[in-house]
Amino acid sequence: MIILKAKFGYVIHNKVTDTYSDVVYLPNKKQLDNYEEVPRDDVDFEVYERIINLQEENKVLSQAKDELIQKNQSLTKVAKVVANQVTDDVIALEIQEFYDEWQVGVAYVVGQYIRFEEVLYKVITAHTSQEGWTPSGATSLFAKVLIDPSGGVLEWQQPDSTNPYMKGDKVLFEGVTYISTVDNNVWQPGVYGWEVAQ
């Protein structure tokens, strides 16, 4: 170990970190070039101390940020656990950022929500996902959630028997707002089960 001790009236300057000290302990000679002895009077210690204080504050803020990131990760895990208990489509849509993206090779269970291409789907048949069995293409495995959680009226989309409109659901069809008069409604407005909303 090498000990660098400043002479009277001098300080040791670390050229790499731009810090000052009266004594420096080095494990070997390789780092000697990083240090120089400078007159104490040449150093504005008031400014230096402010810099050191700012570095310490930055360190504290960085630690606080790391703690917040860890807490956020923990809360996200908890939120995902809670989200997986939800069975209501409206609530699921409101918290859809907590559902996982669809992936190949995952065992999905009936009632589970997943996201695919920014759309929320509900699993209607238990299976292990495979290439080509995407939520948008495998309608026997997934049902697209067709309602708006904000209460807005969405354009009518042809539902399957797995994701029908329910009594009271509103849709926009050819510029007109309709309301479903029956549960499990898979018909187009104007054909059956719809009336013009007042």
Domain chopping of the chain, boundaries:
1-42, 149-198
Tell me the whole-structure pTM to 2 decimals: 0.55
First vs last Cα of the chain: how many Å apart? 87
> Which residue type sits at 63?
Q
149 Rama class: left (phi>0) / alpha (psi -120 to 50) / beta: alpha
pLDDT tens series, the chain, 198 aa: 888 898 998 988 989 888 888 888 888 888 888 899 999 888 877 777 777 788 888 889 999 999 999 999 999 999 999 898 988 887 888 898 999 999 999 999 999 999 999 899 999 899 999 999 999 888 889 988 877 666 678 888 888 777 888 888 888 899 899 999 999 899 999 999 999 988
* Cα–Cα distance for residue pair 114/141, rounded to 1 Å: 12
Q: 2: Cβ–Cβ under 8 A, 6 or more apart, which residues? A: 25, 26, 27, 28, 29, 32
CATH number of 149-198: 2.10.10
Q: What's the angle, vertex CA 93, arms to CA 89 and CA 97, rounded to 5?
A: 135
Q: Alpha carbon of 85 to those of 12, 16, 138: distances in Å?
A: 62, 54, 24
